[in-house]
Amino acid sequence: MSDSLTEFHVSPGGALCGRIRVPGDKSISHRSIMLGSLADGVTRVSGFLQGEDSLATLGAFRAMGVEIEGPHDGRVVIHGVGRKGLKAPAQPLDLGNSGTSMRLLAGLLAGQGLDLVLTGDASLSGRPMRRVTAPLAQMGARVEATDAGTAPLHIRPVEALHGIDFALPVASAQVKSCVLLAGLYADGETCVTEPAPTRDHTERMLQGFGYEVRREGNRICLRGGGRLRACDIDVPADISSAAFFLVGASIAPGSDLLLEHVGMNPTRDGVINILRLMGADIEVSNERSMGGEPVADLRVRHAALHGIHIPEDQVPLAIDEFPALFVAAACAEGETVLTGAEELRVKESDRIQAMADGLQALGVDARPTPDGMTIQGGALRGGEVDSHGDHRIAMSFAMAALRADGDIRIRDCANVNTSFPDFGRLAGEAGLHIVTENG
């Protein structure tokens, strides 16, 4: 893990210009390793995100006996062991800060007949896991958490899992994916019903590996016992990482930035929809499909933003992008109101409280609520903020300096490496006045 004393020191002003490609999509990178490992044959991945979270997934499958070459410049070659070919690791699987790894692996490993333990860092060990252990128990799995319902998770071998028909209590792609991946090993059919659309990378990639997935409205079903066939995967640039630059270029006068090869999955495009509602100038071009995932180039130019009531149907489509969107709201004219986003309180940090505290430190009228925030746009001053070890908080406040009247110092930025290694260099080349200071 990177040095926890890493800080960003960002000077005010500047504009974002030129053309950049942000790192590969984290969600798709995770799933490429998981499904490639369980497939028959050799899967080749390009554009793989070499961040700490997806490397944690890669390391876990190596520890379970999968031969994986790379990553070298985003290229990974996975020699699949088949659906039942994983071996029990010699040690607990340390998944670092990655909630996606832990929740999806809990499902994928529940029916493998292996005895193993999933662990993580202090942040991950405080995040709720009953949301996955409860439906897995309904399927006959034995996944034991702490008394508080947190990691470490001890997965015990069971004879067999059985399919269930599960209604998600809250919209969550991680819980949906956990149940569906467990369903690969269950007798009969497993179905998940969503209360609102969530990212569908798992379903798309299963189909890319030749596994039949059936969708009927908001209900997704698959039958256990099928076979995954190796394929080639080109991971698009992560729209969650592009979001910081979409916001930065929107708020900084003189900006004109082209973001290349960005994943445009319709369950992930809420950040574009919300920014456009606020008046952003975002142009989509060169639309194409890569391995079942829509991809496009995004040109974003400075525009005068205005406050809005964020539509609740957009919340699940932008759940990871709200730290950046809060910065856009702080730079917009008028009031922005977010509701229906209580999920933000159980991410890598309590993102509602962490962003409210940081915005207030920069002179912004930001009022947190149990499920969102009300932000009155206005002038940003310089100051010091704490990212609480949350990569998205750190990068969002870095972009805020584009409109601040003084330097912004952001503490505890090491975890930016979980999703966006080299953020400081790429942002600096685009025009952000950023210096990374270690220890």
Which residue type does 381 have? R
Whether the predicted pLDDT of 291 surpasses 90: no
Mean pLDDT computed over every residue of the chain: 95
Residue 294 structure tokens: 């829509």
What proportion of the chain, given as a percentage, has pLDDT over 70? 99
Question: Quick check: 346 pLDDT over 90?
Answer: no
Asked if the 7-24+236-437 domain carries CATH number 3.65.10.10, the reply is: yes
pLDDT of residue 348: 82
Which string of DSSP letters, residue by residue, matches 50-107? -SHHHHHHHHHHHHTT-EEEEEETTEEEEE---TT-----SS-EE-TT-HHHHHHHHH
Q: Distance (Å, rounded) from C-alpha 348 to C-alpha 327?
A: 18
Kindly tell me if the per-residue pLDDT of 362 is higher than 50. Answer: yes
Instruction: Identify the pLDDT of residue 1.
Output: 39
Please list the active-site residues: 320
Query: In terms of Cα–Cα distance, which of 421, 361, 406 is closest to 386?
Result: 361
Q: Report, as an integer, the average pLDDT of 332-341.
A: 97
The whole-number average pLDDT for the span 193-202 is 93
H or E element in which residue 303 lies: none
DSSP one-letter code for 281: E
Quote the strand ranges of 194-319, DSSP E. Answer: 214-216, 219-223, 232-234, 256-263, 281-290, 293-301
Q: Say whether the peptide bond before residue 152 is cis (omega within 30 degrees of 0).
A: yes
Confidence of residue 373 (pLDDT cuts 50, 70, 90): very high
Identity of residue 397: F
Q: How many CB atoms lie within 10 A of CB 18?
A: 10
Q: How far apart are CA 146 and CA 327, in angstroms?
A: 36
- Prediction pTM value: 0.89
* Mean of pLDDT values over 266-272: 94
pLDDT tops 50 at residue 63? yes
* pLDDT band with cut points at 50, 70 and 90 for residue 4: low
In which order are the strands placed within the sheet that holds 214-216? 165-167, 189-193, 219-223, 214-216
Residues of the chain within CATH 3.65.10.10 domain(s) are: 7-24+236-437, 26-234
pLDDT at position 430 over 90 = yes
Instruction: Report the alpha-carbon distance of residue 315 to residue 209 in Å, rounded.
Output: 30
Pick the CATH number of 26-234 from 3.40.50.150, 1.10.10.60, 1.10.10.10, 3.65.10.10: 3.65.10.10
pLDDT value, residue 290: 80
Q: Residue 81 pLDDT > 60, yes or no?
A: yes
Residue pair 24/74 in contact (Cβ under 8 Å)? The answer is yes
